[in-house]
């Protein structure tokens, strides 16, 4: 029995991996869902303070980020079609665009957060405790938690896309075996749709 090279568990089931991804997306939705519940509870309790604090956020940067994230969802969806048509260079190009947009999103986020930090608005800061009401502190607490967790998901999505690109380049993901690329697309859409809810709740309802 020393030389058995047979891999006992080598089977490919695209349907199974997609079901698995959808189930995982359920768990992510619940994770953020609870945060949205907390948001709505505290918004209800601190109505005026949330209005006041939301005015501090930079709607323009938020809108730009929304726009480019939507574009990136389009490009990753197109990359799936490109792979199905066996067009490897185009798949890689579209994935590359998605990746770059994700990085741009994070850069915008960095400057946005940086500006808040410069004004002394961050959890646990003295300015926050001294000058703002409890409702405003909660608003910014939720803002940093939810956009921070979302940014973390963007980073995970970027790693996912990078791995898939590497596998596409090496021919391990191809038209006949595309579930991994489709799953990375699903995940990226999830990250996108969460932002679609974050953006109006924090930036637009002023």
Partner 1 sequence: MQSTNAVNQANYLEYRGRFKGLFGWIFSTDHKRIGLLYLYSMAVMFSVGVLLGLAMKLELLAPGKTIMDAQDYNATFTVHGVIMIFMVVVPGLPAVFGNFLLPIMIGAKDVAFPKLNLLSWWFYVAGVFLVLAALLFGPGTPDTGWTFYAPYSFKTGTNMLPAIFGAFILGFSSILTGLNFLVTIHRMRCPGLKWSKLSLFVWTLYGTAWIQLLATPVVGITLVLVALERLFGVGIFDPALGGDPILYQHLFWIYSHPAVYIMILPAMGAISEIIPTFSQKHIFGYKAIIASTMAIAFVGYLVWGHHMFTAGMSGTAQYYFSLLTFLVAIPSAIKVFNWISTMYKGSINIQTPFYWAISFIFVFMIGGLSGLVLGALAANIYVHDTAFVVGHFHYIVFGGTGFAFFAAIHYWFPKIFGRMYDKAWANIGWIVFTIGFLTLYSPMFYLGMMGMPRRYYDYLEEFHGGNILSTFGSWILATGFIIIIVNLVRSARRGEKAEMNPWKGKTLEWTVPSPPPVENFDEIPEIAEDDGPYNY
Considering the rule CB under 8 A, would residue 131 count as an interface residue with partner 1?
no
With contacts defined by CB under 8 A, name the span among 87-95, 102-110, 128-136, 162-170 that binds partner 1: 128-136
117 touches partner 1 (CB under 8 A): no
- Paired tokens of 139: 């608003």
Rounded CA-CA distance 195/103 in Å is 15
List Cα–Cα distances, 95 to 12, 66, 76, 102, 112, in angstroms: 23, 18, 6, 11, 26
Cα(33)–Cα(61) distance, rounded to whole angstroms?
24
Q: Which is nearer to partner 1, 16 or 67 (CB)?
A: 16
Q: How far is the CB of 50 from partner 1 (least distance, A)?
A: 11
The residue among 81 and 131 lying less far from partner 1, judged by its C-beta, is: 131
Which residues, numbered 138-167, are part of the site for partner 1 (CB under 8 A)? 138, 141-142, 144-145, 149
The secondary structure element, H or E, covering residue 172 is none
Using only C-alpha atoms, the chain has a radius of gyration, in whole angstroms, of 21
Q: Would you say 145 or 162 has its CB closer to partner 1?
A: 145
How near is the Cβ of 105 to partner 1 at its closest, in Å?
Answer: 22
**Contact between 27 and partner 1 per CB under 8 A:** yes
Question: At closest approach, how far in Å is the CB of 113 from partner 1?
Answer: 13
Q: Closest approach of Cβ 1 to partner 1, in Å? A: 5
Q: Applying CB under 8 A, which of residues 13, 85, 107, 205 lies at the interface with partner 1? A: 13
Q: How far is the CB of 136 from partner 1 (least distance, A)?
A: 9
In this structure, is the dihedral angle defined by the CA atoms of residues 65, 67, 72 and 77, taken in order, positive or negative? positive
For the chain, count helices (H), then strands (E): 7, 0
Distance of CA 36 to the CA centre of its chain: 15
CA atoms 65, 107, 30, 48: torsion sign: negative
Indicate which single residue of 80, 82, 137, 173 sits in contact with partner 1 (rule: CB under 8 A): 137
| 41 contacts partner 1 (rule: CB under 8 A) | yes
101 or 121: CB nearest partner 1: 121
What is the secondary structure of 59-97 as a DSSP string? Answer: HHHHHHHHHHHHHHHHHHHHHHHHHHTT-HHHHHHHHHH
């Amino acid at each position: 029995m020393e030389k058995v090279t047979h891999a006992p568990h080598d089977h490919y089931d695209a349907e199974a991996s997609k079901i698995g991804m959808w189930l995982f997306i359920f768990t992510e939705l619940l994770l953020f869902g609870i945060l949205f519940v907390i948001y709505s509870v505290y918004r209800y309790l601190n109505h005026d303070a949330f209005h006041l604090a939301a005015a501090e956020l930079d709607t323009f940067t938020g809108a730009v980020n929304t726009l480019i994230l939507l574009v990136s969802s389009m490009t990753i969806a197109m990359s799936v079609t490109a792979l199905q048509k066996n067009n490897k260079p185009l798949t890689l190009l579209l994935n590359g665009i998605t990746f770059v947009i994700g990085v741009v999103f994070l850069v915008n986020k960095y400057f946005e957060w940086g500006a808040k930090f410069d004004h002394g608005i961050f959890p646990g800061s003295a300015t926050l405790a001294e000058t703002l009401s409890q409702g405003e502190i909660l608003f910014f607490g939720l803002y940093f938690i939810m956009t921070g967790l979302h940014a973390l998901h963007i980073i995970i999505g970027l790693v996912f896309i990078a791995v898939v690109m590497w596998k596409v380049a090496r021919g391990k993901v191809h038209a006949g075996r595309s579930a991994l690329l489709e799953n990375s697309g699903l995940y990226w859409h999830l990250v996108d749709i969460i932002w679609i809810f974050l953006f109006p709740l924090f930036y637009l309802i002023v």
